[in-house]
Chains A and B, each alone.
Chain A
């Protein structure tokens, strides 16, 4: 049972790294980016090419996945997304679904439709046995990396000047602009960073989540659930939501295999019935 808990936490933290960019984008730009999963997929395929084909070390592959996906995010943000910010939510949804379709078809064309695996270095294969609980080394690495990222994110947002500019812009864009904060730069940087994190998550998660062209479609609902349940006004909200979801999903699939994934959908719907703004959202005046 503890193994399930361990696996669930690892899965949850992975989900958090994947989804937190979406949460911040939604909270910051009030923009529904359903194509977020496409960035994760990009990061995953990036690492496949770098590690499997070019034989770069795994750590370098992860770092490059982050950087390249962040660059892609920045590019798309400044050219395409920026034109859609002021549109209605329906337009944003249509736009991002359009991007998803394009990216899925493009990846299918370029890389084929079969599932891809990232070659994991020897050191990360296998398990530790701690107090009779089997902990996969890879999942341990995930927890470590994601944990550090979470702490780092929280520090950046809470302690740095960029973080306070970000929080101001999330709270009230107009006032932030009036204070002289370059909201456009904040958007671009944040979007790039969030996409980079998604790319890193995609690279890390290829082993656990499975990487194929339909990744953005398969996992879109998970990201949406994290954001819905966790709210968009903090880092801790989505974090707790991701852990809950990760554990619930893994436990559900283990104990009730027939209804496994069904559990989290039901969970999301129940939360939305109870609190349409999400479990952790502040009551904003938006």
Chain B
């Protein structure tokens, strides 16, 4: 192999390796099970929001599809998982979770063709329209969905027949965290694969992507479907961990909050949704303790403020903060490693 080929090979080999900071992140995430035993309920909500945001990051950050309608998949799967539990169709939660994800993915597949055509404006309209439409349907068919009161009488069976859900949310949190982690692993593989690379290409320049042989539409349909499935799993998790599902899972507020989460956390590097979800939940908890009723006003205010300040500037700040944290963190972790290496013979 020529030296250039060798260098390319080793670079590509290193590219997808887990950085120490990533490992530290997940170790800490799982450690929260034992570190914050009293906070499992809100941590579950955070994990679900993180998964939801991850699903949007895949299409927004990597494929460049602007969507105001992720709530459609979230809500559809939420109601589906609740209904199959309520009517005794699928009693085991993991099975119901996968089934709900597949249902949401199916909706994603069907509606993906609408999203392919037209401009950003059309995409916004179509995704918004689909979500609002589902909300209207859920409202109308209140005999099935429970309407404004929500889906009642949902009983979730024990996970794998072994682990019962408890009122403190311990089982729920561990369950949600594991599902989040598995979905994250899948998303990570996708992003570092040739498929993921082609997504980044067609986001930047769809004309050239087609001109080098990439079937642009097929790739978009594929990632949109996967994203819908993940959003669906997040919705199903919410229903399963709270034993309840109501109309707000399909609301515009949910889709808008999600965009806000990604703006806070940053798009296009997979951890944006996770970090954004944590910060968002923290903010929400804090502001809700100050003015519980008018949370919506402050969300609106933050959105307006971010746009006026400039999303790029906000992204620059968060990216700079990230870089600073990564730099500090890497030095902290690298120091013990270097100490060890220097004491060995090279």
- Which residues of chain A have a CB within 8 Å of any CB of chain B? 32, 80, 83-84, 87-95, 97-106, 108-109, 217, 220-221, 224-225, 228, 258-262, 265-266, 268-269, 272-273, 276-277
Q: Which of B130, B252, B304 has the most CB of A within 10 A?
A: B304
Report if B160 contacts A (CB, 8 A).
no
B303 touches A269 (CB 8 A): no
User: 3 closest A-B pairs (Cβ-Cβ)?
Assistant: A101-B300, A98-B303, A276-B118
A-contact bits for B102-118, CB 8 A (1 contact / 0 none): 00000000000110011
Interface locus among B37-45, B74-82, B135-143, B186-194: B135-143
Report if B68 contacts A (CB, 8 A).
yes
Q: How far is the CB of B66 from chain A (nearest CB, A)?
A: 5
Known contacts A83-B308, A221-B128; is-contact A276 B300 (Cβ 8 Å): no
B307 touches A269 (CB 8 A): no
Starting from the known contacts A102-B300, A261-B136, 15 additional A-B residue pairs (CB-CB under 8 Å) come to A87-B311, A88-B120, A89-B119, A93-B124, A94-B303, A100-B300, A101-B297, A105-B294, A224-B125, A224-B128, A225-B129, A265-B129, A268-B129, A269-B126, A272-B122
Residue of A nearest to B141 (CB): A258
Known contacts A93-B124, A101-B300, A221-B129; is-contact A84 B307 (Cβ 8 Å): yes
Known contacts A90-B66, A262-B136; is-contact A102 B301 (Cβ 8 Å): yes
Known contacts A80-B308, A259-B140, A272-B118; is-contact A97 B300 (Cβ 8 Å): yes
Known contacts A228-B125, A261-B136; is-contact A94 B297 (Cβ 8 Å): no
A87 to B133 alpha-carbon distance, docked (Å): 28
Residues of A with C-beta under 8 A to B293? 109
Q: How far is the CB of B140 from chain A (nearest CB, A)?
A: 6
Q: How far is the CB of A68 from chain B (nearest CB, A)?
A: 22
A90 to B124 alpha-carbon distance, docked (Å): 8
Residues of B with C-beta under 8 A to A94? 256, 259-260, 263, 303, 306-307, 311
Residues of A with C-beta under 8 A to B216? none
- Which residues of chain B have a CB within 8 Å of any CB of chain A? 66, 68, 113-114, 117-122, 124-126, 128-130, 132-133, 136-137, 140-141, 252-253, 256, 259-260, 263, 293-294, 296-297, 299-308, 311
Among B66, B132, B256, B299, the residue within 8 A (CB) of A265 is B132
Among B120, B141, B259, the residue within 8 A (CB) of A89 is B120
A97 to B252 alpha-carbon distance, docked (Å): 9
Known contacts A100-B300, A101-B297, A265-B132; is-contact A89 B118 (Cβ 8 Å): no
Q: How far is the CB of A138 from chain B (nearest CB, A)?
A: 26
Known contacts A224-B125, A269-B129, A276-B119; is-contact A105 B296 (Cβ 8 Å): yes
A269 touches B130 (CB 8 A): yes
Among A89, A258, A262, the residue within 8 A (CB) of B124 is A89
Residue of B nearest to A93 (CB): B124
Residues of A with C-beta under 8 A to B302? 98
Residue of B nearest to A95 (CB): B307
Residue of B nearest to A228 (CB): B125
B296 touches A101 (CB 8 A): yes
Residue of B nearest to A217 (CB): B252
A-B contact pairs, 18 of them (CB 8 A): A32-B121, A80-B308, A84-B307, A87-B307, A89-B66, A90-B124, A93-B124, A94-B260, A94-B263, A95-B308, A98-B299, A98-B304, A101-B297, A102-B301, A220-B252, A261-B140, A268-B129, A277-B118
Residues of A with C-beta under 8 A to B132? 221, 265
A273 to B305 alpha-carbon distance, docked (Å): 35
Among A87, A108, A265, the residue within 8 A (CB) of B136 is A265
A277 to B119 alpha-carbon distance, docked (Å): 9
